[in-house]
Amino acid sequence: MKIAEMNWLQVEAYLKTDDRAVLPLGCTEQHAYLSLSVDSILAERVAAEAAEPLGVPVFPVLAYGITPGFRAYPGSMSLRVSTYCAVLRDILDCMKEQGFRRILMVNGHGGNQPAASLAQEWMAENEGVSVRIHNWWNAPRTIAKVKEIDPLASHASWMENFPWTRLAGVEQPPEQKPLVDFERMRARGPAALREYLGDGNFGGLYQRPDADMLAIWTVGVEETRAMIEGPWS
């Protein structure tokens, strides 16, 4: 149940019977040959599919995140940590004011981890509201399924190459890219990082059969739905 497909009267009616909501967190950043919106597409879609049978509303994805290292890749947009946390705090304030008391943030981008600290700080100031963050792609069951299929999986590799994140007419390289050295990667600024990474894939195949991807997706949706269901404190 997407907020984009509801009006305020319907939301008000919903809040008389339930106080749960889902807020997807995404990012706009390079993903090699895949869409720049991979993290946003996946977070919003997995949240929507997980919440639909439960009748829980899903807010539009926060499509900009924290990704300073990729600023040398055109199209990659990064918010300052302070800006990101301020935006998120404003959203949470509005949700509380309107009656939402159990909020699950479904995160699709590793750089958004300050959201977890912000949630803890915000709850300390707002008793009676529970906020949880769910990194859907590396949640226990989902990442176990990924590793079962192919242990060499990383940013912009096959594990993010779903039918809804690839681009029409864009061919994926057939080879497997060696895994990058993460220590060397973390020590570089945006320009040097782009020079080191090249196309942006961190390592692994660029694409696997859709049957593999749908198997991962099924687990990801189920695991996210379980988080929405609770238990909540």
Residue pLDDT, tens place only, 23-64: 999 999 999 999 999 999 999 999 999 999 999 999 999 999
Q: What is the pLDDT of residue 69?
A: 97
For 158, phi then psi, to 5°, come to -55, -30
Instruction: Check pLDDT > 90 for residue 233.
Output: no
Average pLDDT taken over every residue of the chain: 97
Q: What is the pLDDT of residue 39?
A: 98
In the beta sheet, which residues pair with residue 141? Answer: none
Residue 42: closest CA among 53, 31, 55: 31
Give the neighbor-by-neighbor strand order of the sheet with 102-107: 20-25, 102-107, 130-135
| Crossing angle between the packed helical segments 81-98 and 114-125, to the nearest 10 degrees | 40
Question: Domains in the chain and their CATH numbers?
Answer: 3-229 (3.40.50.10310)
Give per-residue pLDDT as tens, 110-143.
999 999 999 999 999 999 999 999 999 999 999 9
